[in-house]
Chain A
């Protein structure tokens, strides 16, 4: 009963007719192209727009700025200068906390400060980006396969559980222990992803609903697990598990420069997995099936591809990726399982996957951006007194704008162009 979207070729031709004639010079053409609503431009403008709205929030939530409201009409300059100070300081801290702090570089070059402080921001960004890239991929791979995996959070929780159990229960030698723990994480996540895939293939149960529900089942399971004998840290009375053995902890890459540089093998794992998934989608038989089923399950079925089994495998792989994401947290930074061990890395993964337009390398860049916002947000919180929660607002806004290119186009009056959307045919109905 959905015949509402039958655009004819004529309609499309008519839509193209409002395009302006192309400018003559090369530079003009270049600028014109830049100012069309292409994927890159829309993404950059989305980030910009989100930061502007974030800035407005910073200004109006500040006590001193609000004090200028009372005499805004007699002396508006106070409001603007104070707002500017506040916002520019906040965003400067955001930059210093995520990329580099020029003062620290200065100090290190002069020999008055440690190099550790120069690398600290980038180390934090990469630390946050690693699990995000993996959970982002977990969403993206399912998305390319035509499935809307809202269960990344639950799968990541199970992955963290699997990795932690292997990490503190299995007495294995250095090296092997690390690999085994990662494999356990992937396997636990994969098994948890298998469930909604199987239900979809066998009964047609919509994966959006089942994965949302499974997130909470996983959360309660974790809450129960960490107070069980043999799991709970015997030295503690609160709900926390034993720490993962040293041999199963991801090596710190820049540990030689100082103990605060937390960046670990997780980011290496993430990049390798991104490359592997990119290869898988393009060159593997499973990737071919996954893309075909994602774009048109009916035609795939007619051509003899097993749609159900592809769904099951897609969700299993997606779950395994999410599981790896959870594993890198518990093996890298958290070390022990707690109720909130993975934070919201699964839900953030959805945003990362969407921002990366469900393409593996795009997901990596999106993860770096979100990681940077997270790392910078920490510094912004402690130096400017702006709550870290602002980062969540900015991240959500970025994705809203990216998901609504028409909105960005309207705001900036961009010329029409082909923008790589988020893929259609998704989640149309339950």
Chain B
């Protein structure tokens, strides 16, 4: 059960924040409000009158609009087409010829009225994420909704874009619209909300005014106060292990994602890469791992060029890799835990040879790993890995990567969607590996995680490392860097002369 006995009241012209951890049931609640899911019990009242919301059409009719976390835009359509879909301006009666001119006019009107700066003729797939989000808002506003639900709207935005969004929300509020603002970010809530409802494990745990302190909100949200702190000594950096120079990489659509990155990671240190998701971190890592072709530049591992090496050769040269999306890139979900633990070495002794694999040897090694890494599953690891919890799945990947002698360990979002206990365990493992003299490259969109683990922090913005700072740098300064704002004088290498 994702929602259990939740009550929520939103007043007209109010910005109501819905605060809760990942998986607390916020999105489920909103999907019920928008008619995408049906409640088993309870009712929805609009203007004090009960309404039946059987689908999005009913929700829109009741004056409820929603901006989904994953945008609901057809990439190959223009902005105007996306906005008109479902409520098309037509001529020709029952045939329904599209009246694109009227649709464009409407988009311009709404865009101007609320200062959204959206061009109706652009194709959506060519727009930046922040603009796509504004298209979603236009879509809702053209349907004349009174209540707008924004589901984790800032997750994909830079601090600057977030500021713009908050400004838009204030404009909407001034125009009399109500807004439900779903988030797990405390600062944004304090900045804009009129009232805050906190959800934990599918239940409302309290409603608070916006001046509630951060600590209080946090403990309401997670139940107990958790401070992300990792015990670690000072780093003793050795020789450079990974050196990246002038690296340029394209994304899947052929657009430049990494645009001239220089990095050095030394033995025995953690280099953290901070940045809002989608600024080239994923492509950078994939290029280093040989999973994505380089456009320009080169990378060397212990002085040896990596270009032209296959992923297998890179792994076998002593690189461990935790990919950011474990269910897509990290694990074969229908394989057993034991099989997943040898996914990279199944054809080497003692697990197998060029021709055969030895299930017995694989199971034996699985037993040891499962115990060592505290994976909660059957002892021999014969269960399909997809049946394990997220934290245990992640431990399987970490166990696999740490079972080879490593020179370099690359971890992308190593604790995303993982329970607190597993987070601590994985962090300890990473620090331990650093102590063994391994070079660690950590990518995380959780700034706290980067600051807790890294010895040096590189900030990525639009495909470039725009600054390299110490983890003691004030959060605000790093936040500005993540938004692409450099402060003259303190910016180190990475800014190009153009």
* Alpha-carbon separation in the docked complex, A10 to B333 (Å): 19
Determine if B334 is an interface residue (Cβ-Cβ < 8 Å). yes
Q: Would A292 and B312 be within 8 Å (CB), given that A285-B346, A298-B329 are in contact?
A: no
Determine if B17 is an interface residue (Cβ-Cβ < 8 Å). no
* Alpha-carbon separation in the docked complex, A298 to B332 (Å): 9
Determine if B328 is an interface residue (Cβ-Cβ < 8 Å). yes
Q: Could you list 28 A-B pairs, sorted by A, with CB under 8 Å?
A: A10-B1, A14-B1, A283-B357, A283-B359, A284-B355, A284-B356, A284-B357, A285-B352, A285-B353, A285-B357, A288-B347, A292-B343, A295-B334, A295-B335, A296-B328, A296-B332, A298-B329, A299-B331, A299-B332, A300-B343, A301-B311, A302-B311, A302-B323, A302-B329, A302-B330, A303-B343, A305-B343, A306-B312
Q: Report the nearest A residue to B331, measured CB to CB.
A: A299
Which residues in window 118-169 of B have CB below 8 A to A?
none
- Contact residues in A for B344 (Cβ distance below 8 Å): 303-304
* Alpha-carbon separation in the docked complex, A1 to B75 (Å): 9
Q: Would A296 and B333 be within 8 Å (CB), given that A285-B356, A288-B352, A288-B357 are in contact?
A: yes
From B329, B335, B352, give the contact of A291 (CB < 8 A).
B335
B328 touches A298 (CB 8 A): yes
- Contact residues in A for B314 (Cβ distance below 8 Å): 304
* Alpha-carbon separation in the docked complex, A14 to B3 (Å): 12
A285 touches B310 (CB 8 A): no
Determine if B291 is an interface residue (Cβ-Cβ < 8 Å). yes
Which residues in window 296-330 of A have CB below 8 A to B?
296, 298-306
Determine if A8 is an interface residue (Cβ-Cβ < 8 Å). yes
Determine if B191 is an interface residue (Cβ-Cβ < 8 Å). no
Determine if A3 is an interface residue (Cβ-Cβ < 8 Å). yes
Q: Would A299 and B330 be within 8 Å (CB), given that A14-B1, A284-B357, A304-B315 are in contact?
A: yes
**Smallest Cβ distance from B37 to chain A, in angstroms?**
10
From B310, B333, B339, B357, give the contact of A306 (CB < 8 A).
B310
**Smallest Cβ distance from B67 to chain A, in angstroms?**
15
A302 touches B352 (CB 8 A): no
Chain A interface category by residue count: 20 to 34
* Alpha-carbon separation in the docked complex, A291 to B336 (Å): 12
Q: Which 5 A-B pairs have the closest CB atoms?
A: A304-B312, A303-B343, A296-B332, A303-B344, A302-B329
Q: Say whether chain A's binding surface is mostly helix, strand, loop, or mixed.
A: helix
A304 touches B357 (CB 8 A): no
Q: Mark each residue of chain A from 269 to 299: 1 if its CB lies under 8 Å from any CB of chain B, else 0.
A: 0000000000000111111100110011011
Determine if B485 is an interface residue (Cβ-Cβ < 8 Å). no
A288 touches B346 (CB 8 A): yes
**Smallest Cβ distance from A15 to chain B, in angstroms?**
12
Q: Would A283 and B356 be within 8 Å (CB), given that A296-B332, A299-B329 are in contact?
A: yes
**Smallest Cβ distance from B448 to chain A, in angstroms?**
26
**Smallest Cβ distance from B315 to chain A, in angstroms?**
5
Determine if B175 is an interface residue (Cβ-Cβ < 8 Å). no
A285 touches B354 (CB 8 A): yes
Q: Report the nearest A residue to B357, measured CB to CB.
A: A288
* Alpha-carbon separation in the docked complex, A286 to B328 (Å): 22
**Smallest Cβ distance from A39 to chain B, in angstroms?**
16
Which residues in window 1-54 of A have CB below 8 A to B?
1, 3, 8, 10, 13-14
A300 touches B332 (CB 8 A): yes
* Alpha-carbon separation in the docked complex, A291 to B359 (Å): 14
Q: Would A304 and B335 be within 8 Å (CB), given that A283-B359, A284-B357 are in contact?
A: no
Q: Would A295 and B332 be within 8 Å (CB), given that A1-B75, A288-B346 are in contact?
A: yes
* Alpha-carbon separation in the docked complex, A309 to B289 (Å): 18
* Alpha-carbon separation in the docked complex, A282 to B331 (Å): 19
**Smallest Cβ distance from B343 to chain A, in angstroms?**
4
Determine if B70 is an interface residue (Cβ-Cβ < 8 Å). yes
Determine if B316 is an interface residue (Cβ-Cβ < 8 Å). yes
Q: Mark each residue of chain A from 327 to 354: 1 if its CB lies under 8 Å from any CB of chain B, else 0.
A: 0000000000000000000000000000
**Smallest Cβ distance from B6 to chain A, in angstroms?**
14
- Contact residues in B for A303 (Cβ distance below 8 Å): 311, 315, 343-344
Determine if B181 is an interface residue (Cβ-Cβ < 8 Å). no
* Alpha-carbon separation in the docked complex, A216 to B316 (Å): 44
- Contact residues in A for B354 (Cβ distance below 8 Å): 285
Q: Report the nearest A residue to B321, measured CB to CB.
A: A302
Q: Report the nearest B residue to A8, measured CB to CB.
A: B2
Q: Would A301 and B333 be within 8 Å (CB), given that A285-B346, A285-B354 are in contact?
A: no
